[in-house]
Amino acid sequence: MLFQRSSGILLHPTSFPSQHGIGDLGKSAYEFIDFLKRSGYKLWQILPLGPTAEEHSPYIMNYSTFAGNPLMINLERLVQEGLLEAEEIVSLEGKDPHKVNFEIVVPHKALYLQKAYTRFKKQLEHQPDTEFETFCQKHSAWLNDYALFMALLEAHESKAWNYWEPALAHREPDALKAKTEELQEPILYQKFLQFLFFKQWEDLRHYANEQGIKIIGDISIYVCHNSVDVWANSELFQLNPDTLEPTYIAGVPPDFFSETGQLWGNPIYNWDAMQKTKFAWWIQRFKTTLEYVDYVRIDHFRAFEAYWRVPGGEKNAIKGEWIKAPGYEFFDLLKQALGDLPVLAEDLGIITPEVEQLRDHYDFPGMKILQFGFGGDANSVHLPHNYVQNCLVYTGTHDNDTAIGWWETANTQEKQYFAEYLGYSSPDEITNINWVMIRLALSSVASLAIIPLQDILSLGHSARMNDPRDNAGNWRWRYESSELLTQELSDQLLKLNRLYGR
């Protein structure tokens, strides 16, 4: 599918300014949409929206691929709805406005969400909430299992599901029925949180679409082992039948980010079992995601052609092997179910001709990263003169340093190549490297150009969102205030978007 020539900004909702230590779906989100519109952008790209576990990676530490993250629920909206009192809310202002401190944020938000739930329950005693009931019925295919899983997780003090009582770990019907009755209250609470999240998200998405902004969502290729996805569908994953631990785990071999590869630890799919169901779980996953975004970026797309499989228990990703995956069969069935596939492919890493053929067979736009283009020669696929129209160019992604951070650590050869490529005789002549790269991305032939907000705000290394070489301390960056999104900045961006036909 060829996209209209356009541009957008990469920003996860947790990065919005707020009074509660983490970005949410309130005023700052709407101000960001307004900034996109007046700057000439048509796209907003986000990361996966699911509830996160330890280290809070939306890709590999996610309790569900269907649910939303309650930490993004805006508390001020709950005041408007009569579920909270304004005077009872204490903000987290004064803490670091540039980083999410999850250790403080999680209990802070939970306190007020519990209060909101208590008032909601009292309202239910007098009158049923038909909107809530409709939501629960509509999403029952995933919501019931998710709410029970989260209630059980709390009851087991966050112990992984395969260490629960065997009857629960193996989902014996009598055990599930008994626990569902026993845990009615925490189950209802979890459904309430999802109701709040998706109501706020749908309103925000509707506002974005009204302003001419489309949202690019993200489907992570793998799911967390300690998730409702694996617990409720264990037959779809390669698990040890006795311990229910992964027999093989996901990752990638040595690459740009790591000499020992990346070991993510997620369980590998049982593709044979998935084929027997005609990929029902995957197809439902896409359908659900497309209920709240307009396009889907597939993270680690290459695993649909072949995936790197590492034996469970390994300390790094070196001792793995490539295993073929049924990509064509899956996307054919997905296309039958959805029609046109509004899909973008994250085709980074070790990309073979077979991966490119799978991508191009379905006309999925691939990704180009400017930061990757200047470490080799003129044949790099990440250099603009090698782009095809049907692709998506970034200055950098959430896994890269900011443009300024990259420039500060680039070696002499990279800087010289970059300078000559842009018509300078020396790197010393280059100022405002982030704006040079933004202009390079927007001016390219690529149909889509996405710029991280950090580059637009001229931020350095401290604003990096994720470093794949280190699992700790990522996913925390925030910008301080919506006042940074000035009219002067919008005018500058609008001029560039118009200049390059975006």
Summarize pLDDT for 237-283 with one digit per residue, the tens: 999 999 999 999 999 998 776 788 888 889 999 999 999 999 999 99
The CA dihedral of 465, 495, 218, 141, to the nearest 10 degrees, is 130
- What is the model's pLDDT at position 61? 86
Residue of 327, 324, 325, 322 whose CA lies nearest to 350: 322
Which fold is adopted by the domain 6-482?
Answer: TIM Barrel (3.20.20)
- What residues are paired with 195 via a beta bridge? none
What is the amino acid identity at position 401? D
Annotation says 399 is catalytic: yes
Q: Which residues contact 361 (CB under 8 A, 6 or more apart)?
A: 328, 331
**Residue 198 exposed, middle or buried by CB count within 10 Å (0-12, 13-18, 19+):** buried
343-345 and 295-298 beta bridge pairing: parallel
The reported pLDDT for the residue numbered 258 is 79
Name the catalytic one among 24, 218, 299, 414. Answer: 299
Q: With 90 as the cut, is the pLDDT of residue 325 above it?
A: yes
Contacts of residue 84, defined as CB under 8 A and 6 or more positions apart, other chains included, come to 75, 78, 112, 115, 116, 119
Residue 374 in this model has a pLDDT that exceeds 60: yes
* Residue 89 identity (one-letter amino acid): I
User: Is the pLDDT assigned to residue 1 strictly greater than 60?
Assistant: no
Task: Give the mean pLDDT of 187-199.
Answer: 98
pLDDT, position 262: 86
DSSP helix/strand/coil, 367: strand
pLDDT at 94: 64
Query: Among 218, 229, 305, 346, which one carries the catalytic annotation?
Result: 346
Q: What is the pLDDT of residues 133-170, one digit of tens each?
A: 999 999 999 999 999 999 999 999 999 999 999 999 99
**Lowest mean pLDDT: which of 252-261, 327-336, 374-383?**
252-261
Long-range contacts (CB closer than 8 Å, 24 or more residues apart) made by 233-238: 233/281, 234/171, 235/270, 235/273, 236/269, 236/270, 236/273, 236/274, 236/277, 236/281, 237/267, 237/268, 237/269, 237/270, 238/267, 238/268, 238/269, 238/270
Active-site residue flag, 346: yes
Residue 274's SS3 state is helix
Sorted by where each begins, the domain ranges of the chain are 6-482
437-479 pLDDT, tens per residue? 999 999 999 999 999 999 999 999 999 999 988 878 999 999 9
Among 24, 229, 399, 414, the active-site one is 399
User: Which of these ranges, 55-64, 70-79, 355-364, 365-374, has the smallest mean pLDDT?
Assistant: 55-64
Of 296, 288, 389, the closest CA to residue 342 belongs to 296
Q: What is the C-alpha to C-alpha distance for residues 215 and 175, in angstroms, rounded to an integer? A: 41
